[in-house]
A = this chain, B = another copy of it.
Amino acid sequence: MSTKESRDGKFGEYGGQYVPEALMPAIEELTEAYERFVLENEDGFVDEFRRRMREFGGRPTPLQHADQLSERYDTDVYLKREDLLHGGAHKLNNALGQVLLAKYMGKERIIAETGAGQHGTATAMAAAHLDMPCEIYMGETDIARQRPNVFRMRLNGSEVNPVTTGRGTLKEAISETMRDWAKTVENTHYVIGSVVGPHPFPAMVRDFQALISEEARRQTREKEGRLPDAVLACAGGGSNTMGAFHNFVPDESVDLYAVEAGGSSLSVDEEAGVAPNSASLSTGEEGVLHGARTRVLQDGDGQIMESHSVSAGLDYAGVGPELAHLVDTGRVDAVNVDDDGALEAFHRLSQLEGVIPALETAHAFEYLEEHHDDLGEFVVVNVSGRGDKDLETVIEETAERDLSIAPEMDLFREIGGGAL
């Protein structure tokens, strides 16, 4: 695996290690472990990681020609099928990598934060697989609205610690996990959920996720004898994005599109501290959040805003520093798609291809729908996850919007019974 950032984790001006002093030893220890095990493959770490991702995770994931979309757009559209990974999303690449690293470091306990529960379930699976005790911090609001994911974590033997401070969502869960870590660094590893946080997390998570583009790059050559014209991925924190882009970054001919959640509007309500979107790259400003300098949704004072997206996994006020840097340098295009568009794309892909995507992923497909003419003749879309987790949300949000593309759900009314 290769890395482009400087030794101290800077991507241009972004990155760094803005953390309380008490966390610095943990960060330093982790940095050293990252360099030894992940970068130098000490003790065969990378080999074991790759083997477990194959056998437990289901790698390589296929690169599938999307017959119907290709016809619709008169473009060869390929799907990189991370939705087929164990757990249903790319999240496992990172979770398994970090839990395994914790084992190599001699840690005895795993903690992680989770918002919608995708990273929490991936971490719980990895921890069970590697026989590591695991505690997941999750806001109580999120616990109440993501019960199936909570149950999955509990089934895998993880503790789920409700976070009751503040608004009880992802931001508070991250703070609470950092607090736990500050007290327990000696025996505990904190598995962060995306390419965010202090160095070495952004680089390390990217390296674990880079399996996606390592495979995709080889697969595009096998299928079409050449590299694609464009790669599209949705971007929340940016881990599937960086994973899908990383090995294509040196290939100047390949355009890279990070599709953010435009939410209900790109405007911002400074007064209320609310951004009705999660488009940190498109509308955010440089700032320091959760340990790194990056692009952040914030008000004039620097207070972090409440972000919004119909897809819980994109609903974050920051973004990985490396991705922010690649956008600033022009290598990656930051674009966005709103809630309505994402819902339409969710239905479109389900109907046309028989693949029900995560709502996060659907953003990338809506961008394809809207801009396929400008993307060349050979496009890869990273299907970051499957949409089973989103059924309830989609039913509700679709009903509110009266989308013509959505299937009728009358048969439930005929038969009676409540919501999903």
Q: Which residues of A contact B (CB under 8 A)?
A: 54-56, 58, 61-65, 67-68, 81, 83-86, 88, 124-131, 140, 143-144, 147-148, 150-152, 154-157, 160, 162, 347, 350-356, 387-388, 391, 394-395, 407-409, 411-412, 414-417, 420
Known interface pairs A58-B81, A152-B356. Does A128 touch B350 (Cβ–Cβ under 8 Å)? Answer: yes
| Complex Cα gap A228–B407 (Å) | 47
- List the B side residues contacting A347 at CB < 8 Å: 155
Copies in the complex: 2
A4 CB to closest chain B CB, in angstroms? 31
- List the B side residues contacting A407 at CB < 8 Å: 154-155, 157
B58 touches A415 (CB 8 A): no
A420 touches B151 (CB 8 A): yes
| Complex Cα gap A158–B53 (Å) | 34
Q: Which 3 A-B pairs have the closest CB atoms?
A: A128-B354, A129-B354, A125-B354
- List the B side residues contacting A124 at CB < 8 Å: 354
Chain B, residue nearest A86 (CB): B84
| Complex Cα gap A411–B163 (Å) | 11
- Known interface pairs A56-B354, A157-B351; 16 further A-B residue pairs with C-beta atoms within 8 A, sorted by A's residue number: A55-B63, A56-B62, A68-B131, A124-B354, A125-B354, A126-B354, A127-B354, A128-B350, A128-B354, A130-B354, A143-B412, A144-B417, A148-B420, A154-B409, A155-B356, A160-B411
Chain B, residue nearest A168 (CB): B415
- List the B side residues contacting A409 at CB < 8 Å: 151, 154
- List the B side residues contacting A67 at CB < 8 Å: 129, 131
A412 touches B86 (CB 8 A): no
Chain B, residue nearest A131 (CB): B68
5 contacts between A and B (CB under 8 A): A58-B61, A84-B85, A128-B350, A147-B412, A155-B391
Known interface pairs A84-B86, A143-B415, A350-B157. Does A55 touch B61 (Cβ–Cβ under 8 Å)? Answer: no
- List the B side residues contacting A143 at CB < 8 Å: 411-412, 415
Known interface pairs A62-B54, A155-B356. Does A150 touch B411 (Cβ–Cβ under 8 Å)? Answer: yes
- For the residues of A in contact with B, the DSSP-based class is helix
A137 CB to closest chain B CB, in angstroms? 12
A404 CB to closest chain B CB, in angstroms? 14
- List the B side residues contacting A417 at CB < 8 Å: 144, 147
- List the B side residues contacting A356 at CB < 8 Å: 152, 155-156
| Complex Cα gap A127–B353 (Å) | 9
- List the B side residues contacting A352 at CB < 8 Å: 128, 131
| Complex Cα gap A420–B389 (Å) | 13
A111 CB to closest chain B CB, in angstroms? 16
A144 touches B415 (CB 8 A): yes
| Complex Cα gap A411–B407 (Å) | 36
- List the B side residues contacting A88 at CB < 8 Å: 388
| Complex Cα gap A56–B420 (Å) | 28
| Complex Cα gap A415–B162 (Å) | 8
| Complex Cα gap A127–B356 (Å) | 13
B125 touches A155 (CB 8 A): no
